[in-house]
């Protein structure tokens, strides 16, 4: 990856405070060489948890592993400070692994909405994401609007949840760092059970850095199990009696004092003070660092732009706990390659079978020239291709307005419909992608 230290992000962002970032054109140096469709596919890194869940004997045990999967889907975000490329309307991405296959499509341009559908012998996982990004002066907040659903068809069960907010701190000055925060509810639609997970904002209460805590309730709203861990590392589960006994002797590990309670990041971020803005305007270019992906000003940030350190004093290991999920270690050279996991590093690979005629849809993200050039280290070429693709997309929209009947109308693989489990409007897979029976395989969006 390129060093971003010599690029003045403030020159780009100073007119964007409080605005939606999806309409702002960012310099390509702040991108990572993946499309958002590929980034969304990273939900599947720990797809084996869904297979394990489907093999559990009771709905309670299945809910535990589905909840662990929901947390694991966020683990690759840690230290990932590059912005994925915005997908073009009609862009697709497919991935096949031994335990699942997934198809993603950019189904809407304004607003930008990405839909996906993954399946295997034991589960289906689908949903749509409408990411909203806002810049709040010192941080960028990402709100992944949308609901995702897991189905176990053989068991006639479904679970759904929404992802929590993400925030990138120290966008202007200091070292960037990222956190996830907010409440996540994993709902079991058939059995009335629910896992409620609290992704804690760190503030400067370091014991809460990365921490996730929550509980499972039965259909009578009685708490039966306690879930805890870190979204960057692991999730464990124990029965609620063991948790209550543990907390009696370790209350300091859970309770916040009034002095160190930080304001909730779920409140609306305030406007950046004029003093801060004037100080930012006076800074030299060498002071500026790179772009990241989340958060709001309500969480205190250090004046020197440091990163909070996890406090090992507050490690929690409750008796009778079972580890549901542990994150895989990242490769040793991850810092040189956009902090990618091994799974992420594989997503842009063009396998030999994909190079055969009609083996890969021509709209697949692997074929985007701007992403490929950035991956190869050609920054100027990537910027030129990114501009060309954006202009081509605008021209295609103009043509489609003039002659809609002669053009393929996107989306091709998904349709808006009601999710039968959440009863909300969603993007549902129409089928047909893997059969490749479409006559319009020569679509040219790149």
Segment 169-215, tens digit of pLDDT:
887 777 888 889 999 999 999 999 999 999 998 765 566 789 999 99
CA dist 202 and 210 (Å) reads 7
4-251+305-440, CATH topology level: Porin (2.40.160)
Range ranked top by mean pLDDT from 57-61, 206-210, 375-379: 57-61
Confidence of residue 395 (pLDDT cuts 50, 70, 90): confident
Query: What residue spans define the domains of the chain?
Result: 4-251+305-440
CA dihedral 410, 414, 417, 422 (to 10 degrees): -140
Continuous H helices in 33-154: 36-41, 48-54, 59-72
What are 428-435's contacts with CB under 8 Å, separation 24+? 428/126, 429/103, 429/115, 429/117, 429/126, 433/92, 433/94, 433/103, 433/361, 434/101, 434/103
- CB 302 within 8 Å of CB 204: yes
At 309 the pLDDT is 67
Tokens (6 digits) for 84: 């994925």
CA dihedral 75, 78, 81, 84 (to 10 degrees): 0
CA dist 245 and 438 (Å) reads 60
At 18 the pLDDT is 65
């Amino acid at each position: 990856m390129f060093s971003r230290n010599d690029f003045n992000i403030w020159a780009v962002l100073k007119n964007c405070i409080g605005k939606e970032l999806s309409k702002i054109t960012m310099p390509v140096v702040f991108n990572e060489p993946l499309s958002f469709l590929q980034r969304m596919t990273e939900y599947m890194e720990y797809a084996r948890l869904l297979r394990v869940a489907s093999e559990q004997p009771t709905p309670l045990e299945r809910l535990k592993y589905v909840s662990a999967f929901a947390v694991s889907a966020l683990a690759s975000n840690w230290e990932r400070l590059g912005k994925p490329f915005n997908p073009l309307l009609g862009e697709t991405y497919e991935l096949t692994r031994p335990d699942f296959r997934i198809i993603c499509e950019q189904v809407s341009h304004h607003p930008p909405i990405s839909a996906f559908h993954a399946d295997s012998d034991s589960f289906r996982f689908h949903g749509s994401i409408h990411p909203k990004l806002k810049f709040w002066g010192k941080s960028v907040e990402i709100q992944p609007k949308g609901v995702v659903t897991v189905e176990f068809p053989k068991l006639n069960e479904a679970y759904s949840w929404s992802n929590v907010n993400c925030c990138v701190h120290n966008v202007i000055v200091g070292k960037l760092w990222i956190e996830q925060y907010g409440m996540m509810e994993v709902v079991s639609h058939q059995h009335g059970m629910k896992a409620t997970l609290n992704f804690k904002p760190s503030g400067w209460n370091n014991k809460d850095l990365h921490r996730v805590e929550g509980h499972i309730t039965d259909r009578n709203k009685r708490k039966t199990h306690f879930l805890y861990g870190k979204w960057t590392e692991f999730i464990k589960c124990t029965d609620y009696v063991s948790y209550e006994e543990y907390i009696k002797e370790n209350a300091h590990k859970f309770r916040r004092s009034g002095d160190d309670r930080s304001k909730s990041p779920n409140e609306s971020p305030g406007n950046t003070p004029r003093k801060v803005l004037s100080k930012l305007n006076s800074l030299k270019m060498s002071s500026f660092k790179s772009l990241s992906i989340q958060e709001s000003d309500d969480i205190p940030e250090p004046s020197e732009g440091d990163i909070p350190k996890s406090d090992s004093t507050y490690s929690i290991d409750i008796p009778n706990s079972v580890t549901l999920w542990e994150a895989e270690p990242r490769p040793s050279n991850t810092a040189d390659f956009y902090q990618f996991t091994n799974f992420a590093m594989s997503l842009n690979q063009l396998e030999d079978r994909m190079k055969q005629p009609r083996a890969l849809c021509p709209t697949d993200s692997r074929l985007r020239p701007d992403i490929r050039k950035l991956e190869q280290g050609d920054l100027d070429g990537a910027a030129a291709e990114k501009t060309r693709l954006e202009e081509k997309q605008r021209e295609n929209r103009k043509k489609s307005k003039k002659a809609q009947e002669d053009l393929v109308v996107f989306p091709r693989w998904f349709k808006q419909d009601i999710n039968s489990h959440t009863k909300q409007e969603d993007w549902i897979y129409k089928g047909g992608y893997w059969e490749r029976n479409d006559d319009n395989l020569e679509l040219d969006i790149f």
